[in-house]
């Protein structure tokens, strides 16, 4: 059985990144390397929340990013998912934006994804928030997806 990976907004965004700063180029290259060589080892999923965020980009870039993830199954935003996202916000583990990071984490958690792939290291792939997230999940008897960057999953895939 392949592990499920929730593809968050920053993944198609960095795949299509054009900024010339070295850190942006590095993230783009790692994202493309993972997407082009490793994604087949996983079951990829995304959500309407990702499509909504990508639609806020300039039209030409939005089309390119959306085309990348259009074939992926989309996880449904249900009442229990929304309740979980609100709980993350109330517990101050995610910022108060029901459609953003809290929703991505709620979707990946509720649907028992093994990984949430992101470049958002402020709110999502943040080691300082891991214990807080895990405590919330234990109290609710939920699994904790691994929040990782493409670089981390690229290294994991190549050494697994």
**Domain range list for the chain:** 3-159
pLDDT digits (tens, 9 = 90+) for 67-119: 999 999 999 999 999 999 999 999 888 878 767 899 999 999 999 999 999 99
Task: Reply yes or no on whether the pLDDT at 20 is more than 60.
Answer: yes
Q: What percent of the chain stands above pLDDT 70?
A: 94
pLDDT at position 49: 95
Residue 30 has which token pair? 């790692």
Contact yes or no for 133/94 (Cβ under 8 A): no
Task: Reply yes or no on whether the pLDDT at 159 is more than 60.
Answer: no
Residue 39 has which token pair? 């994604």
- Predicted structure pTM score: 0.92
CATH topology for 3-159?
Answer: Rossmann fold (3.40.50)
């Amino acid at each position: 059985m392949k592990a499920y990976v929730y593809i968050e907004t920053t993944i198609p965004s960095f795949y299509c990144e054009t900024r010339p700063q070295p850190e942006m180029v590095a993230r783009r290259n790692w994202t493309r390397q993972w997407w082009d060589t490793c994604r087949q080892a996983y079951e990829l999923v995304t959500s309407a929340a990702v499509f909504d965020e990508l639609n806020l980009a300039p039209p030409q870039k939005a089309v390119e990013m959306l085309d990348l993830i259009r074939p992926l199954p989309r996880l449904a935003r249900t009442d229990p998912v929304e309740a979980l996202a609100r709980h993350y916000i109330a517990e101050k583990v995610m910022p108060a934006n029901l459609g953003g990071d809290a929703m991505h984490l709620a979707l990946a958690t509720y649907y028992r994804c093994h990984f949430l792939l992101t470049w958002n290291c402020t709110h999502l792939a943040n080691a300082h928030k891991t214990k807080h997230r895990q405590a919330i999940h234990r109290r609710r008897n939920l699994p904790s997806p691994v929040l990782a960057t493409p670089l981390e999953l690229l290294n994991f895939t190549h050494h697994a």
